């Protein structure tokens, strides 16, 4: 989650918590509102307090997510002796995709990388294999190729790699249009 998103979630959560507390206090028995609620059905007050409690719980969960979830970034920052090197997310994805295509019989390789400032957190790879058999073994080889390429080129660790490999027969055939 990006820092600005976390900040917005935190702001919305604080506003929601304040609103829930204020609304709960408004429903608490007082002389002005007691007559109004006595005229209404007996179930209105517990229902409103229950709904306020539900809203309070939702905004509390949102606040905890905003505080404790780790931030993601759009660029990987590598510190060196000469200065910092910033690599864009799409450049990392392109490097891994080209390495997979070069070493494996795979088509339509799609790489999605989730990065943090100094490491690659998650990588999802989707591809179509020309080899119809032994897809699990080839998926493990593709995973190892992706890890090796990032370690070799960038020297950054990868926490989690998920490979979705389908046989090439599942590729939708493109039909030619004749005009």
Residue 106 belongs to domain with CATH number: 3.30.70.1350
Q: Give the integer Cα–Cα distance in Å for 92 and 124.
A: 12
Q: Are residues 63 and 112 in the same domain?
A: no
Average pLDDT over all residues of the chain: 77
d(C-alpha 128, C-alpha 106), whole Å: 5
96 and 115 share one domain = yes
Residues 159 and 94 in one domain: yes
In terms of residue numbers, what domain contains 86? 75-170
C-beta of residue 52 within 8 angstroms of C-beta of residue 67: no
Q: Is residue 162 located within the same domain as residue 91?
A: yes
State the pTM of this model. Answer: 0.56
pLDDT tens for 74-126 read 777 777 778 877 777 788 888 888 888 888 888 888 888 887 766 676 788 88
The answer as to whether 177 is a domain residue is no
Domain count, the chain: 2
């Amino acid at each position: 989650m990006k820092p600005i998103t976390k900040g917005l979630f935190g702001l919305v959560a604080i506003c929601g918590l304040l609103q829930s507390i204020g609304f709960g206090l408004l429903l608490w028995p007082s002389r002005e509102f007691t007559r109004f609620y006595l005229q209404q059905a007996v179930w209105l007050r517990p229902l409103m307090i229950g709904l306020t409690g539900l809203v309070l719980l939702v905004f509390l969960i949102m606040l905890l997510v905003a505080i404790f979830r780790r931030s993601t970034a759009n660029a990987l920052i590598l510190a060196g002796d000469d200065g910092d090197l910033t690599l864009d997310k799409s450049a990392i994805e392109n490097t891994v995709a080209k390495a997979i295509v070069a070493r494996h019989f795979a088509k339509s390789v799609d790489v999605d990388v989730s990065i943090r400032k100094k490491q690659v957190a998650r990588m999802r790879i989707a591809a179509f294999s020309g080899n119809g058999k032994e897809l699990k073994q080839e998926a493990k080889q593709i995973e190892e190729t992706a890890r090796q390429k990032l370690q070799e080129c960038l020297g950054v660790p990868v926490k989690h790699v998920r490979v979705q490999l389908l046989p090439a027969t599942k590729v939708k055939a493109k039909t030619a249009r004749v005009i």
